[in-house]
Amino acid sequence: MPNSKNTKGLGKGIDAIFSDFEGQNVDATEENVLDLRIDKIRPNPYQPRKNFNEESLEDLSNSIKENGVFQPIIVRQSVNGYEIIAGERRFRASKLAKKETIPAIVRDLDERQMLEIAVLENLQREDLSPIEEAEAYDTLIKKLKITQEEVSKRLGKSRPYIANYLRLLNLPTMTKKYLKNGKLSMGQARTLLGLKDKEKIDYLAKMVVQKGITVRELERMVTEANNSKPRPLKRVPQKSPFIKASVEELITKFDTPIDISENKDGHGKIQIDFKSTDDLNRILDILGINID
């Protein structure tokens, strides 16, 4: 399970959550640890995390080859084998290490508990972005049909803390991508939400990323824009519905901020942002371009 030292976005650890479930004692010393066949195990169907860092998995896989799996994963029995409750990263690394079995503890949980644990475990990721954290809170509220107040109590966080993260989901698509990729900070994103003219958010977010504008500088710009002072923000030409839809599709496909600009004569350009050489190689792979 995730490192217990990481408490980002989560007041209570997964162990505490397990103890909330009647009869779900987390002390592995009091439970039977079984060696289960890996080909009989599948990921939690409610796991919101779909992408795992390949380099980190490779490192864990090498450790498992040398030393085995120190901490058992937790599963529940299903019709066709077992479903992972917690420990998918260890499961994936064990598969990568060509292991045939993995130590596991079998627990009896219902669908609601499976969903909650999947989201809560996701919240303990070290590389969790503010948008991903907001999406996790939103999933708990919508899927479990509970209130912000109930989420805050369950996680040991204040209600304003939860509300501030949920507000980030109101940001436009490109700005959310900047935030998710670490190009915008939480403070910058919250400041952008203060713009009265929501059509300007993506434009100003792009300016922040390109020019390295600080939160304090951004606050002044937002205030000026809201008060219609002498230095108003430059209006961004309205894109056609087709161009807007194309941008949305491209952002979804490449998982990075993308912009399409179009001239009056119908010519234009597509700008694809990348944050590192590895990210560029990933984009080139999606395009089917191989450079030796």
Catalytic residues: 88
Q: How many residues are listed for the chain in this entry?
A: 292
C-alpha dist (Å) from residue 97 to 61, 88, 117, 179, 251: 5, 14, 26, 34, 33
Q: Are 18 and 57 in contact (CB under 8 A)?
A: no
CB burial of residue 248 (10 Å; 0-12, 13-18, 19+): middle
How many angstroms separate the CA atoms of 167 and 194, rounded?
11
Nearest to 57 by CA among 95, 14, 83, 86: 95
Mention every residue, 6+ apart, whose C-beta is less than 8 A from residue 282. none
Q: Which two tokens stand for residue 164?
A: 């501030």
Token pair 């912009």 in the structure block, residue? 259
Strands 73-78 and 101-106: parallel
